[in-house]
Structure formats: structure tokens, C-alpha cells
């Protein structure tokens, strides 16, 4: 750079004219390139390997979908006929759906000359023979193309259900009603194309319906492109209640593709990107609506606004290089931080604007990670600052795991990530009645081996049933099923474990009583639900456990046994998933701190289930459920005849105190 007329040229490295970007040596260039490649690969894999990162990326996309998607006219060809509460109220029974009504509905649609029908209702059990035959005749002779929902043993149907379904839908076009749930956040994000079974490919429900309509059917999983209605009050598809179809003008249905399914508050509802953003609950979408979205996408040739992995990789590379370049800029750390944060803000604002104005959905979390990883080059390889390398030290497992589960964790270590994952699990809580007072009376030299023998037996039973022992607190054993290994039948596994624990505990207590030790009975609570499962021990202590309301409820159910007189208390959701276990209803418990009741049951042995005691209890319970005044006398007679039935005695006491019905509000935990 020349100054004045004297021709003086200042050397480039003197005083204030130092270069903004430091020149790299050959070795440093290789190191920077390696870090850029690492940043791209790591940012690409993190959302796919670690559920909590993927769920966060999903959430960012869901926000854009829910808030920035343009309104669309209702689909011109697809109509949904929904079985609602009003529909069921007009029928003789709720479940299974009255097949005579359904046969009439199909004939009405055929008379209206609809183009095709998708029947998202599973016919897995017989009902009234005449109505079954009537619907079967309609299904096999209908002139309109029709696809019926189908499932199999791998979809949690029993052998009996599968056999009936096979026979009933013989000769009828079938489609698997499965929905593809993202395990990271339990949201439906893809179209299920189908699967092979017995050497034959069975398409998914929407794919099967598209096939009978002559459309090209996808052979692989596709991201689901959800439609949006004209406004927040108007759904993307026209929806008619099933009981009102016969009253509709024929032109409303002619040449339409009609999907029939349920729209009920607590049945077949699922999280979508929209309900995930709005909080789920009543905003969750019925399955038949999701099938409609999938079918519309296939028929319209619509594509989800997602970036392919190749485009994502290029975006990550650009952001990683920008981050590395920023690290090489010779400026104060505070300036680098300000510029870096401004760059991130521009990326996110640009990502939201790109979707709003161009309909293009780019990932934002993984590019931000690539940008951050690239920016660490200055600190790691350019010597601007020494970074401490942290090593995640995992201590020995703080609980017992069955050998099979340990092997799976070794094969899939990502299951033990700090962030965890949302999974459905079944929890068992156990506790010994009166154990605290026993510790005060019993010599420690006797108490310790006694307790260890008991705990060894209880833990061994949990491991034998493929459970994970969460913790042992004093005399209490806490175990769960369904994580970290996938166990589709985890409620049944937990139930079998609890029954064996109960048998062991009874025998153990009887032995101690015979030896003169007043060892109390063991109380057990069981509940199934979704919880966040993972390592909650931080970096220095490995503590694989679960947190959530489902876990707290299981603990509460263990505690309510002492009020009810029961030894095992099981939530209704768990009981519904244990078809091989007999139960009798306990009541609808409103646990302390809760406002909604929880249906609960007590498991019974086959002998007890067939006993006169149980028959009398069920009759009395039904009277109490219906607020029949005769319930009080029924329970008095029951207690008089079966004085050892403590649950009956509990209800008798309630009724004597003026309470009615089966809802029990508990004031204590």
C-alpha cells in the first residue's frame, strides 16, 4: 500500500495492518478440513442417532408447518365419513360397530355412485351372526371398489382375531392400517407403504386404496405431506357423520373417494406435526384422517416440503466452512461470539422465510450444529484457546439388567444417551407393609440377611421376566418393562412378573411368620404409559431410569393398596393389555393431586375368577356402579359371607358412610 509522494511502502505485518484471516500451515489446513468433514458428518448423524436431537429438529419443522403453511381449498375428491359419539348413541351397542348399520351405510354410498370406499374399521371378531353375514355379503358383492383395513399377529392381534379376519375379508381388497410413528416424538411423519407376509406383499391402507383407483403406488417409505384447510375452523377434507350420510344430497357423494373411520375422543387418535406443536390431547388426529392425507398425497403426486439428505449435506458443508472461516478471523472473542450469533439468527430467520415464501423446508438444528462445530476449529486447532477434553466416564450400572437386555445395549449403545427418549413402559412398584416398624424391633444381624434374601428373590423374578430393575429403596423394589429393549408385550410381561412376585412374597412372609418374625405382606402397583427414559445421572453417574406421570401413577397405585385392602392394584390400561390374566374391577380412583379418575383392577387367579365370591362381588359392583341403593345390602351380604374379602369390606364401609358409585377420591397417597 503506497502513502504520499515519497514512495514508502509499509510492510504488511507491521503495527495495525495485520491480516484479518490468519494464513494456515499445510498441517493446519489438513486439520481444519478434517474438522469440517467431522462437523458435516456429526451434524448429519446426530438427529438420526440421538432421539432427543431428532425430536428437537422435528419440533422446529412442526412450528413452521403449523404457523406458516398457506391455506388450501378442501380436497375436491376425498370425503371422510366419521363414526362419532352421536353415531354410536343411535346404535344398540358401542363396540364392535353395528355391522347391520355399516352394511346399510355401504349400500347408501354405492347408490350415491361414489368412486371408491376405504373402510378403516377392523373386523377381528364376530358380532351378531345375521349382521355379520349381511355385511360380509355387501363387502364381497359391492360394485364400488373397496379396501378394508387389515392387520395380523405382528400387529398385536391374537391368533383367534387374525383367523377371523382372514376368513371374514376373504376375497376383499385389504390394506394394512398401520401408521408409521416416529419413535423420537411419537408423531406420524411417513406413509406406510406395506410389508411382506408369507411371501406376499400387502400394501398399506392408503397405498391399497390408491392402487384400486389406478394410481401409481409408492414402493418405499415417503415423508407424509399434510394438507391444510382454508382456515383454522375448516378441515382439509369434507367430513360427514356416518349416521347422517343417508340424508345427504347425492351430488355431495357422487364420484367421491370415501374413507370411513372413527372420530372418537379416546380411540385411534395420533400425534401429527400440527398436534405435536399445539400440545396433542383433543387436537390429536383420528387415524382415518391421516390415511386421507396419505391418499391425497399419492393421488395428487404431492411431495413433503423436506430437504433430501444430499441437499442437507451440502447445506451442512457450507455452514461448517463458514464457521471455520469465522474461527480463523483474527478478532476479539466477544466480536466472534456476536458475529456467530448473528449468523445463526440469519440462518433461522432465513429458514422460516424460505418455507413461508417458497414452501421449502430446510433443517435448522443440524446446520446450526455444523456451524458451531466448524467454529470450534479456532479453539481446537489454531491455538486460540486451549479446550479441555471431557471424557464421559460411565460408572458400573447402578441397577440390574437381564443378560439379554445387556447384550442389546452393547449392540445399540445409542439407547443410553443422556437425552433419552419417549417410550411406552410398564412400571412395577413394590413395598412391604409395616417394614419400618419391623426394622425397629428386629436385630440388625437378623434383619439384614432376611431383607437381602427377600430382595434377591424379588429381583431375580424381575430379571427372569426380562425386566429392568430401576432401583431398590430400603425394602421397595422398582422395576420397569419396555425399555431399554423393545418389548411390545411389556404390560403382559410386567403382569406375569407381578403375579410371581406376589406368590413369592406370600410364601416368604408365611415362612417368616412361622419362624416368629412378623414380616408384612407385599403391596404392588402397576401402570403403563409414556415416559422419558434415559440416563438421568449426568456425566459422572450413570442412572438409567424413567420420569413421567406414568411412573408416578404406578407408585401411587402401590400406595393405595393399604387403603383398599388389596395387594396388587393395576391401572385399566395395563389390564387391557393382559388378555391372559383375570381381573375384577376395584373402582375409578382419583389419586391425590389429580382431577381425573383412573380405572383400576385387581388381578385374580383362574380359580378365584371362577369362584362364587367373585361372581357375587361383580354383581354388587355393578349395582354400585349404577348407583343402585341395593348395592349397600349386596356388599353387606358379601362381607358377611366372605369376611376375608378386604376389597368388598372397603366398599361396604364406603357405602355405609354415604358414598355412592365407583369413583373413589383419595385424600392420601
pLDDT in tens, 414-424: 555 545 788 99
Cβ atoms 151, 176 nearer than 8 A: yes
For the cut 50, the answer to whether the pLDDT of residue 20 exceeds it is no
Confidence band, pLDDT 50/70/90 cuts, at residue 399: very low
Percentage of the residues of the chain whose pLDDT score is greater than 70: 85
Residue 563 pLDDT exceeds 70: yes
Tell me how far apart the alpha carbons of residues 71 and 151 are, in angstroms, rounded to a whole number: 35
In this predicted structure, what is the pLDDT of residue 541? Answer: 62
What digits encode the pLDDT tens for the residues 219-248?
A: 788 889 999 888 888 899 999 999 999 999
Q: How far is CA 15 from CA 10, 127, 336, 411, in A?
A: 10, 92, 22, 58
What is the rounded CA–CA span in Å between residue 532 and residue 420? 6
Q: Which helix (H) or strand (E) holds 347?
A: helix 333-358
> Residue 21 has what pLDDT?
47
Dihedrals phi, psi of 540, to nearest 5 degrees: -105, -10
SS3 116: strand
Give the Cα-Cα-Cα angle 65, 71, 77 (nearest 5 degrees). 105
The pLDDT confidence band at residue 333, using thresholds 50, 70 and 90, is low
Q: H or E stretch including 546?
A: strand 544-547
Q: In the prediction, which pLDDT does 394 show? A: 33
The answer to whether 596 and 579 are in contact (CB under 8 A) is: no
Residues in the chain: 669
Q: Exposure string (b/e) for 211-231, b if CB count within 10 Å is 16 or more?
A: bbbeeebbeeebebbbbbeee
Of 347, 333, 494, 342, the residue nearest 427 (C-alpha): 494
| CA 335 to each of CA 340, 342, 422: distance values in angstroms, whole numbers, following the listed order | 8, 10, 39
For residue 412, what are the contacts with CB-CB under 8 A and spacing of at least 6?
none
CB contact at 8 A, 586 and 600: yes
Q: Is the pLDDT score of 8 beyond 80? A: no
Residue 638: pLDDT over 60: yes
pTM of the model: 0.52
Distance, CA of 446 to chain centre: 46
Amino acid at each position: 500500500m503506497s502513502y504520499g509522494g515519497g514512495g514508502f511502502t509499509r510492510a504488511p505485518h507491521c503495527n495495525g495492518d495485520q491480516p484479518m484471516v490468519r494464513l494456515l500451515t499445510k498441517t493446519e489446513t489438513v486439520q481444519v478440513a478434517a474438522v469440517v468433514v467431522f462437523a458435516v458428518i456429526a451434524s448429519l448423524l446426530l438427529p438420526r442417532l440421538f432421539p432427543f436431537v431428532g425430536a428437537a429438529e422435528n419440533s422446529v419443522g412442526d412450528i413452521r408447518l403449523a404457523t406458516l403453511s398457506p391455506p388450501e381449498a378442501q380436497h375436491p375428491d376425498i370425503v371422510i365419513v366419521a363414526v362419532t359419539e352421536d353415531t354410536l348413541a343411535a346404535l344398540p351397542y358401542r363396540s364392535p360397530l353395528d355391522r347391520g348399520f355399516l352394511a346399510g351405510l355401504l349400500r347408501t354410498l354405492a347408490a350415491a355412485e361414489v368412486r371408491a370406499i376405504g373402510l378403516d374399521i377392523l373386523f377381528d371378531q364376530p358380532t351378531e351372526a345375521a349382521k355379520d353375514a349381511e355385511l360380509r355379503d355387501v363387502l364381497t358383492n359391492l360394485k364400488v371398489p373397496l379396501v378394508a383395513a387389515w392387520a395380523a399377529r405382528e400387529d398385536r392381534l391374537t391368533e383367534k382375531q387374525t383367523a377371523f379376519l382372514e376368513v371374514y375379508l376373504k376375497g376383499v381388497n385389504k390394506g394394512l392400517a398401520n401408521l408409521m410413528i416416529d419413535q423420537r416424538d411419537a408423531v406420524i411423519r411417513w406413509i406406510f407403504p406395506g410389508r411382506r407376509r408369507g411371501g406376499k406383499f400387502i400394501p398399506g391402507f392408503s397405498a391399497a386404496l390408491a392402487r384400486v383407483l389406478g394410481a401409481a403406488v409408492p414402493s418405499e417409505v415417503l415423508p407424509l405431506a399434510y394438507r391444510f384447510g382454508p382456515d383454522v375452523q375448516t378441515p382439509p377434507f369434507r367430513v360427514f357423520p356416518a349416521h347422517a350420510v343417508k340424508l345427504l344430497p347425492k351430488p355431495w357423494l357422487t364420484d367421491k373417494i370415501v374413507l370411513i373411520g372413527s372420530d372418537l375422543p379416546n380411540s385411534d387418535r395420533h400425534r401429527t406435526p400440527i398436534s405435536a406443536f399445539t400440545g396433542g390431547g383433543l387436537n390429536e388426529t383420528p387415524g382415518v384422517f391421516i390415511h386421507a392425507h396419505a391418499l391425497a398425497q399419492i393421488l395428487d403426486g404431492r411431495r413433503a416440503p423436506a430437504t433430501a439428505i444430499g441437499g442437507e449435506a451440502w447445506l451442512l458443508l457450507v455452514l461448517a466452512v463458514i464457521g471455520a472461516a469465522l474461527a480463523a478471523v483474527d478478532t476479539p472473542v466477544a466480536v466472534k461470539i456476536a458475529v456467530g450469533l448473528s449468523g445463526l439468527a440469519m440462518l433461522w430467520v432465513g429458514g422460516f422465510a424460505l418455507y413461508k415464501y417458497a414452501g421449502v423446508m430446510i433443517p435448522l438444528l443440524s446446520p446450526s450444529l455444523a456451524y458451531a462445530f466448524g467454529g470450534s476449529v479456532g479453539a481446537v486447532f489454531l491455538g486460540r484457546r486451549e479446550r479441555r477434553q471431557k471424557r464421559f466416564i460411565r460408572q458400573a450400572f447402578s441397577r440390574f439388567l437381564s443378560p439379554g437386555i445387556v447384550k442389546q445395549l452393547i449392540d445399540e449403545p445409542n439407547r443410553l444417551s443422556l437425552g433419552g427418549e419417549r417410550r411406552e413402559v410398564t412400571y412395577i412398584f413394590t413395598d412391604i407393609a409395616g417394614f419400618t416398624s419391623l426394622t425397629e424391633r428386629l436385630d440388625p444381624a437378623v434383619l439384614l440377611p432376611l431383607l437381602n434374601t427377600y430382595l434377591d428373590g424379588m429381583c431375580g423374578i424381575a430379571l427372569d421376566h426380562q425386566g429392568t430393575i430401576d432401583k431398590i429403596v430400603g425394602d421397595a423394589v422398582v422395576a420397569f418393562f419396555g425399555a431399554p429393549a423393545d418389548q411390545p408385550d411389556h404390560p403382559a410381561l410386567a403382569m406375569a412378573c407381578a403375579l410371581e412376585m406376589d406368590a413369592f412374597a406370600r410364601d416368604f412372609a408365611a415362612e417368616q411368620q412361622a419362624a416368629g418374625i412378623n414380616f408384612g405382606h407385599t403391596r404392588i402397583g402397576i401402570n403403563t404409559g409414556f415416559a422419558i427414559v434415559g440416563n438421568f445421572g449426568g456425566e459422572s453417574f450413570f442412572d438409567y431410569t424413567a420420569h413421567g406421570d406414568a411412573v408416578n401413577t404406578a407408585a401411587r397405585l402401590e400406595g393405595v393398596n393399604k387403603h383398599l385392602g388389596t395387594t396388587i392394584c393395576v391401572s385399566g390400561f395395563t389390564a387391557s393389555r393382559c388378555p391372559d390374566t383375570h381381573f375384577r374391577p376395584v373402582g375409578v380412583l382419583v389419586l391425590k393431586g389429580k382431577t381425573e379418575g383412573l380405572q383400576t383392577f385387581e388381578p385374580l387367579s383362574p380359580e378365584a375368577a371362577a369362584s362364587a365370591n367373585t361372581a357375587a362381588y361383580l354383581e354388587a359392583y355393578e349395582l354400585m356402579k349404577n348407583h343402585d341403593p341395593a348395592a349397600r345390602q349386596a356388599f353387606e351380604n358379601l362381607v358377611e359371607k366372605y369376611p376375608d374379602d378386604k376389597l368388598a369390606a372397603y366398599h361396604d364401609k364406603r357405602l355405609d358412610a354415604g358414598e355412592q358409585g365407583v369413583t373413589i377420591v383419595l385424600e392420601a397417597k
